[in-house]
C-alpha cells in the first residue's frame, strides 16, 4: 500500500515538474518565500493584535501557528522522517534551495491551514482570501518539488485541526481578555 502511495506521489510531482514555466516559477517562489518562518501569517496577525476588538483573533492566529509547528515540524516530521522529493531525482527541476528538514507533513501548508481555520471561525469576512492564499501556498510546495502531494494533504488536515484546537486554548489565556 505504501509503495502505491509513493508511486502516485512521484507521478504527480513529475507531471508538475514537466509543466514548469518562467512566469509560474517566479510566482511560486514568491508565494512559498512568504510562508518561510510563517512571515505572511505573522503579518496577518499583527493588525489584529493592534486592535482591542480583534486582539484575541490575532493571538489565536499566533497560537495556531505555534501548535501547528509543535505538532508538524517538531513532532510528526521527526517521527516519520520522510525524505523530500527534491533529495531524490528531481535536481534538474529544483527552483529553490533544498529545505533542510524532513518532508511529512508540509510545514508551510500546516501553518497556512491552521491560520485559515482560525480565520474561518473568528473573522469569516477575510476567510476566502486567506483560504485561497493557503491553497496557493500548498500548491507552491508541490510545484517547487519540495513536498509530495500526501505531505500537503496531511498538512492541510493537521493544520485545520491545530487551528480549530487553538481557538478554545487561546480563549483560556486571561492576558488577552483585558483591554489596553
pLDDT value of residue 19: 86
Instruction: Compute the distance between CA of residue 119 and CA of residue 10 in angstroms, rounded to an integer.
Output: 33
Instruction: Compute the distance between CA of residue 95 and CA of residue 108 in angstroms, rounded to an integer.
Output: 17
Q: Read off the pLDDT of residues 109-147 as tens digits, 9 standing for 90 and up.
A: 999 999 999 999 999 999 999 999 999 999 999 999 899
Q: Read off the pLDDT of residues 66-101 as tens digits, 9 standing for 90 and up.
A: 999 999 989 999 999 988 887 776 566 676 777 778
Displacement of CA 105 from its chain's centroid (Å): 9
CB 133 within 8 A of CB 155: no
Q: Write out the three cell numbers for 147.
A: 513536498
- What one-character DSSP code corresponds to residue 103? -
Protein fold of 22-173 = Vanadium-containing Chloroperoxidase; domain 2 (1.10.606)
Amino acid at each position: 500500500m505504501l509503495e502505491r502511495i509513493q508511486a502516485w506521489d512521484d507521478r504527480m510531482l513529475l507531471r508538475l515538474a514537466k509543466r514548469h514555466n518562467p512566469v509560474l516559477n517566479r510566482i511560486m517562489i514568491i508565494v512559498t518565500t512568504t510562508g518561510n518562518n510563517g512571515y505572511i501569517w505573522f503579518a496577518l496577525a499583527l493588525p489584529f493584535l493592534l486592535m482591542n476588538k480583534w486582539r484575541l483573533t490575532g493571538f489565536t492566529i499566533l497560537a495556531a501557528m505555534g501548535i501547528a509547528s509543535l505538532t508538524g515540524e517538531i513532532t510528526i516530521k521527526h517521527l516519520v522522517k520522510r525524505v523530500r522529493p527534491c533529495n531524490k531525482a528531481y535536481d534538474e527541476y529544483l527552483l529553490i534551495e533544498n529545505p533542510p528538514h524532513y518532508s511529512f507533513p508540509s510545514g508551510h501548508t500546516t501553518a497556512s491551514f491552521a491560520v485559515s481555520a482560525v480565520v474561518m471561525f473568528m473573522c469569516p469576512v477575510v476567510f476566502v482570501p486567506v483560504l485561497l492564499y493557503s491553497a496557493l501556498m500548498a500548491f507552491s510546495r508541490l510545484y517547487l518539488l519540495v513536498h509530495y502531494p500526501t505531505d500537503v494533504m496531511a498538512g492541510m488536515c493537521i493544520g485545520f485541526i491545530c487551528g480549530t484546537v487553538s481557538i478554545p486554548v487561546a480563549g483560556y489565556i486571561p492576558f488577552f481578555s483585558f483591554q489596553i
